[in-house]
Structure 1
C-alpha cells in the first residue's frame, strides 16, 4: 500500500464515508492521533462537505453538526484500507479506516441507535456490498 491513495481510491473512501453520513445513524467515532485519542458519539452530519485544505492541499471530507460545534475532518487520501468487522462476542459492528502501515486513522462503531436491528442490517448490507476489506 502506498502512503497516499490515488484520486480514484480517495473517491471510493469518500463514497463509503458518505454512506455512513446518509445512514443518519449514531456512531462511536474514535480518532487515533499521534499522542492522543478522541472518542465521541454522534451522527456524521447533518452537514457533509468535500474540500481541499488551503494549508496542506490535502483533500478533506468534513462532517459537522448544525452549529459546527462538532466537526470531524477526514483526510481521504490517507485512507489505504477500510475493514468492516462484526464481533460475534458482543455483536459490535466497526468500520476501521487505516493508513498505509495498517495503523488506525479512525474507527466508526455502530452505537446508540433507536432501532438496533435496522442499524445492524444497514451495516451488514455494507459488508455484503463492499466485502470485509477494501484495500486502496
Structure 2
C-alpha cells in the first residue's frame, strides 16, 4: 500500500518537480494549491506525510502548521516545511509550530528522497 503525501504548494513548477521526483516511488501525492486548500484536504483525508510551502496565498505555511497540529489526526504526522528563505531564519518558529523538518527550496531529488527515507525507511530504497 502506498503512503499518502499531501503536497501544499502554490507554485506550479515546484509542485510538478516534486511530483516528478516522487513518480517512481511508493508515494501517492495529492496537491493543494494554497494553505486553506491544504487544510481542507487534511480534514477530508488522512495523509502519512505533509510537504508544505512557507509563502502561500489564503493561508501561509506557518498558519497551516499550527492548524494541522491542532487536528488529532495530525498530532504525530511528519510535516516537512519548505522555504525559499534561509531555513535557519524560519526553523525555530516553524519547529515551534510543529514542523518535523525545515527544508530549503529548491529541493533536490536527493534531499527529498533522503528525508522521506528517514521518515518512512521501508518505503524508500
Q: Tell me the TM-score normalised to structure 1 length.
A: 0.28
Work out which of the two has the higher radius of gyration on C-alpha atoms and give 1 or 2: 1
By percentage of residues, which structure has more helix? 2
Q: Tell me the TM-score normalised to structure 2 length.
A: 0.29
By percentage of residues, which structure has more strand? 1
